[in-house]
């Protein structure tokens, strides 16, 4: 289709419609500066404190009124340098021991830049980004000894990953009509899910989001080594079955948040009636990280 060469107001389209930088050479120079600055930032991180609270000036700079016009990227970068860069979470510092967040790697930030530059939509299509997702999933499946045809999704974080896992388990347990009719506890009993008291709080949120209700999550006591008490787990499942509820998922922890404990291997040998067996069972529908 022939493109109009000017907008209805008469201004040339290129100057009104493009998101390109006004000057590619300036853009390149700014990019090089940013790259050098961030490599300096990372390579000297040990010389700075792990964390500091954002200053009053930073807070003021980050509560500006809504801008009605675009800003020069150099100004935006100056704000970043003054108000953002000095006050991060701290998790990439080698002395950050406050919480479990990962720190990434220097090459990861370069990879983020490459990914952002291509900015692919990865819902499918005949393109390399989708092939990369499939390749990574295949590698993960192989690492975890999953079947070759196991599928998956790369998502934005732990809660999203567990939400997807719990959804798969819920849909499996709810039968073929669940996705059409929604949850119908009156039909087969309310769905219940089990995990140790050391399970991360994602599970309550996900039960809420999936319409199971927070009380669908049954917490099971841990032993002296913070591992789930398999006997209590089996008893809780049996009791819920006796009440007409429908246990559908056991959450196995591979490294709890508080102290990195893994669920006992024996855990995987619970059968669907809640009896604890001796051998190694199937994978079941366990999620967790
Ligand atoms: C098991 C588990 N699930 C979920 C989360 C939350 O992760 P995210 O913030 O990526 O959703 C964490 C974070 O510690 C976690 O350990």
* Per-residue pLDDT reduced to its tens digit, 177-228: 888 999 988 888 899 999 999 999 999 999 999 999 999 999 999 999 999 9
Residues 6+ apart with CB under 8 A from 25: none
Number of residues written out for the chain: 289
Q: Residue ranges per domain, the chain?
A: 125-154, 158-269
Instruction: Tell me the pLDDT tens digit for each residue of 87-103.
Output: 999 999 999 987 778 88
Nearest by Cα to 236 from 201, 197, 202, 262: 197
- Name the residue of 257, 258, 288 to mutate for ligand 1: max ligand atoms within 8 A of Cβ: 257
Q: Which residues line ligand 1 (CB under 6 A)?
A: 100, 157-159, 162, 200, 202, 257, 288-289
Q: Does 158-269 carry CATH code 3.40.640.10?
A: yes
Please choose, from the candidates 172, 262, 248, 174, the residue with its C-alpha nearest in 3D space to the C-alpha of residue 217.
248
Å from CA of 3 to ligand 1 middle: 48
Where the chain has pLDDT below 50, the residues are 1-4, 269, 272, 277-289
Closest ligand 1 atom number to CA of residue 289? 1
Give yes or no for a contact between 178 and 169, defined as CB atoms under 8 angstroms apart: no
Q: What angle do CA 250, 252, 254 make, to 5 degrees?
A: 170
pLDDT for the residue numbered 5:
52
pLDDT of residue 121: 93
Pick left, alpha or beta for residue 179 (phi over 0 → left; psi -120 to 50 → alpha; otherwise beta).
Answer: alpha
CA of 32 to the centre of ligand 1 (A): 34
Distance 208 CA to ligand 1 centre (A): 16
């Amino acid at each position: 289709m022939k493109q109009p060469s000017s907008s209805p107001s008469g201004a040339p389209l290129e100057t009104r419609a493009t998101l390109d930088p006004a000057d590619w050479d300036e853009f390149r120079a700014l990019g090089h500066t940013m790259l050098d600055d961030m490599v300096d930032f990372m390579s000297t991180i040990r010389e700075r404190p792990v964390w500091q609270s954002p200053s009053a000036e930073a807070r003021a700079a980050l509560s500006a009124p809504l801008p009605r016009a675009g800003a020069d990227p150099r100004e935006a970068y100056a704000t970043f340098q003054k108000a953002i860069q000095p006050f991060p979470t701290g998790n990439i510092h080698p002395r950050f021991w406050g919480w479990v967040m990962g720190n990434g790697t220097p090459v990861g930030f370069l990879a983020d830049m490459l990914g952002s530059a291509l900015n692919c939509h990865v819902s499918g299509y005949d393109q390399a980004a989708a092939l990369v997702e499939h390749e990574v999933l295949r590698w993960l499946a192989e690492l975890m000894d999953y079947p070759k045809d196991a599928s998956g999704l790369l998502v934005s974080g732990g809660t999203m990953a567990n939400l997807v896992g719990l959804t798969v388990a819920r849909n499996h347990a709810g039968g073929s009509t669940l996705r059409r009719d929604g949850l119908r506890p009156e039909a087969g009993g309310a769905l219940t899910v089990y995990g140790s008291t050391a399970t991360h709080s994602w599970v309550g949120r996900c039960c809420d989001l999936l319409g199971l209700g927070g009380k669908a999550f049954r917490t099971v006591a841990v032993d002296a080594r913070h591992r789930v008490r398999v006997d209590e787990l089996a008893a809780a499942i049996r009791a819920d079955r006796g009440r007409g509820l429908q246990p559908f998922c056991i959450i196995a922890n591979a490294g709890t948040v508080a102290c990195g404990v893994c669920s006992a291997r024996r855990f995987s040998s619970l059968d669907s009636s809640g009896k604890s067996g001796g051998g190694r069972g199937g994978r079941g529908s366990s999620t967790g990280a």
